[in-house]
């Protein structure tokens, strides 16, 4: 009997020790969301853990250490974002993004961000010499691009062409050229679907795209000397002229919306030019043309037409 009791006692001791050994290890739940998704140990360094730094990932931590897995998969929210009774609606809108909406967001690479940096610091300065216009192209125009990807892609293509112009390395020039062409073709396909339906909501974006298209047509030409053999070929593409009709269509069909929208400062500059254009001012270098036309024209109707044409031409010098 004593041997049986002793064996039972030893067996129970082994069972207890095995249970102790089989207990799961306590793991920290304060790791970042990225490490939890990848099921790797997080170093919990703040603000970015070493794993996220190594893989260039956006390191986000839960607002509380006992968050549920579903909350870990959602967007990272500041602690005051939901608990505060006066929650900002924009925060709630961002939180309401589900996986389907996130998958539909445009995919931009680090090269795209380099082009955006170039645009913010350099390209927008080339669009206009007036400070007010430069401020518009630096701030408001990119904001429109955030809502309409075809505008953003068109802006980035301009930045690439400018970098191509500034670099002397042939390989880099080819990279910038291919990038600009690829992004421009993508933007053209995206914008084509909306050009048939110009509304008060998209008229500013479409007008911007048409304007950028004309800039792109000139900037896309290779920087080569105007030699006799290459000069005619370099000037045969006049497709941008037909695009001016699209600018007029958008402008006149949505004039009120454009004048009250984010592009209003851009359009107001035309009023100043219109006033200068209408100012009556005689230019001596056109007097000889008037005399030559008057001497060579016998018909009074033709003389009147020529006189009006010269007057309109004279306004351009104002």
Q: How many residues does the chain have?
A: 318
- Average pLDDT of the chain is 73
Residue 121 pLDDT > 80: yes
CB 157 within 8 A of CB 187: yes
CATH code of the region 31-68: 4.10.240.10
User: CA 252, 256, 261: angle at the middle one, nearest 5?
Assistant: 115
Name the pTM for this structure: 0.53
Express each pLDDT in 188-228 by its tens digit.
889 888 888 888 899 999 999 989 988 998 888 765 444 44
Query: Which residues pair with residue 32 across a beta bridge?
Result: 61
Most confident of the following: 40-44, 137-141, 223-227, 249-253: 137-141
pLDDT value at position 176?
Answer: 92
**More confident: 73 or 249:** 249
Query: Number of C-alpha atoms within 13 angstroms, CB side, residue 215?
Result: 23
Task: Give the pLDDT band (50/70/90) at residue 155.
Answer: very high
| Neighbour tally for 307: CB within 10 Å | 14
48-57, 103-112, 141-150, 175-184: segment of lowest average pLDDT: 103-112
The alpha-helical segments, DSSP class H, found in 97-238 are 99-103, 110-121, 131-135, 141-147, 149-166, 170-195, 203-219, 231-234
Express each pLDDT in 65-90 by its tens digit.
444 444 333 333 333 333 333 444 44
């Amino acid at each position: 009997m004593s041997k049986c009791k002793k064996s039972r006692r030893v067996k129970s001791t082994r069972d207890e020790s095995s249970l102790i050994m089989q207990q799961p290890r306590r793991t920290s739940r304060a790791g970042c969301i990225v490490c939890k998704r990848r099921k790797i140990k997080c170093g919990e360094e703040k603000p970015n853990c070493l794993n996220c730094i190594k893989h260039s990932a956006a390191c986000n931590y839960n607002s509380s250490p006992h968050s549920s897995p579903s909350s870990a998969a959602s967007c990272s929210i500041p602690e005051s974002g939901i608990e505060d009774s006066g929650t900002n609606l924009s925060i709630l809108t961002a939180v309401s993004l589900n996986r389907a909406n996130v998958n539909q967001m445009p995919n931009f690479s680090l090269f795209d961000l380099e082009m955006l940096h170039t645009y913010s610091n350099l390209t927008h300065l080339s669009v206009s010499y007036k400070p007010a216009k430069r401020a518009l192209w630096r701030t408001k125009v990119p904001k429109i691009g955030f809502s309409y990807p075809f505008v953003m892609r068109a802006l980035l293509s301009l930045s690439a062409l400018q970098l191509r112009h500034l670099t002397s390395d042939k390989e880099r020039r080819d990279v910038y050229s291919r990038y600009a062409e690829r992004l421009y073709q993508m933007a053209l396909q995206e914008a084509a679907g909306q050009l048939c339906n110009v509304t008060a909501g998209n008229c500013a974006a479409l007008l911007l795209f048409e304007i950028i298209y004309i800039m792109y047509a000139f900037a896309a030409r290779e920087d080569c000397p105007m030699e006799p053999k290459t000069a005619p070929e370099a000037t045969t593409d006049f497709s941008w002229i037909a695009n001016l009709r699209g600018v007029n269509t958008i402008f006149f069909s949505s004039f009120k919306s454009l004048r009250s929208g984010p592009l209003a400062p851009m359009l107001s500059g035309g009023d100043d030019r219109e006033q200068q254009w209408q100012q009556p001012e005689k230019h001596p270098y056109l007097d000889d043309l008037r005399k030559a036309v008057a001497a060579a024209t016998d018909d009074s109707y033709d003389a009147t037409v020529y006189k009006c044409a010269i007057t309109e031409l004279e306004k351009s010098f104002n």
